[in-house]
Amino acid sequence: MPNRRRALVIGIDDYPGSPLFGCVNDAKAIAALLEAHHDGSPNFEVVLRTSDVDSITRGSLREDIQRLFVPRDADVALFYFAGHGTENDLGGYIMTPDFASGDEGVNLSEILSRANASPAKESVIILDSCMSGALGASPSANNNAAAVSEGVSILTAARAGQAAAEINGNGMFTELVCAALDGGAADVLGNVSAPAIYTYVEEALGAWDQRPLFKAHLGQVESLRKALPAVSVETLRQLPSWFPAPDHVFPLDPEYEDTELGHDPAKVAIFKKLQKCRDAKLIEAVDEDFLYFAAMNSTGCSLTLLGQRYRKLAAERRI
């Protein structure tokens, strides 16, 4: 079966007169994460262009962007760029090494127009460049290029007029995006989506740092990568049997704790799974702060609202 997830990843350090030092590293790190899920299974089919290997021009970049968003059988089309960005009264641009006055690179509105017109179920644009927040903004209130069509999401390192910082050979923004893709922004099942990446990055940056920007028009949210699940699917599927009703209290006693004499190995195995669910905020101890004391004092545990949601998914055989 052909891969229906496509990614174009660009990293440019080699700008005449104003080189950068972390963009190639950033692009390679993003590409490596997108190519495979946590378990090594294939994810995106990635085209990686970096200035240490490739000659990236305005023309070649436009052609690559066009090719990314054209296919009709794509589930997700993702564009990532790390490099210089600029803006003028006509809008924002991502720059290529052959930039010239009045023709700095590829206009952000052109990229958005390509994504808006794409038949892919979801088109994702991630920009780690200065002034990248101009994407989706328009100097003219009547300019339709500013509109974000359904299925399109935009995540940028900085807002319009802001610089994007490099720290220790990497972009601060991309470093956080990589951490998010590697599991920092994963849900209980390990799925990492564009909105979750934004939340992770936004919360990690301080009030005085550059501020990321997220714009989206999504009818449904695609997972961009599957990280290590906080709780295994097998364990989640047991929630309805442990909790026959959403408000059920699962009784605990000292036999669930393996440090106690006379503990029950079968109960201990269940307790370890319940502890995983507790760590994922799916369950909580009843009348105690910790599951250990709930077991030792023979109280029990109950589902949180999040736990009730996953119990329902398991009961309906949706996971």
Rounded CA separation 115/81 (Å): 14
Rounded CA separation 282/317 (Å): 18
Question: Mind listing the pLDDT tens digit for each residue in 54-109?
Answer: 999 999 999 999 999 998 788 999 999 999 988 877 778 899 999 887 778 899 99
Query: Is 159 exposed, middle or buried, given 0-12, 13-18 or 19+ CB atoms closer than 10 A?
Result: middle
Per the CB < 8 A criterion, the answer to whether 13 and 20 are in contact is yes
**Multiple choice CATH, 233-315, 1.10.10, 1.10.3470, 3.40.50, 1.10.1220:** 1.10.10
Q: Which residue ranges make up each domain of the chain?
A: 5-226, 233-315
> 């794509």: which residue's tokens?
74
What average pLDDT does this structure show over 165-192? 86
> pLDDT value at position 207?
64
Architecture of domain 5-226: 3-Layer(aba) Sandwich (3.40)
Per the CB < 8 A criterion, the answer to whether 167 and 175 are in contact is yes
User: Which run of H or E residues covers position 61?
Assistant: helix 58-69
Rounded alpha-carbon distances, angstroms, from residue 21 to 26, 71, 208, 256? 10, 33, 23, 54
For residue 264, give the amino acid letter: D
For residue 188, give the amino acid letter: V
| Secondary structure of residue 137 in the 3-state scheme | coil
> pLDDT value at position 169?
58
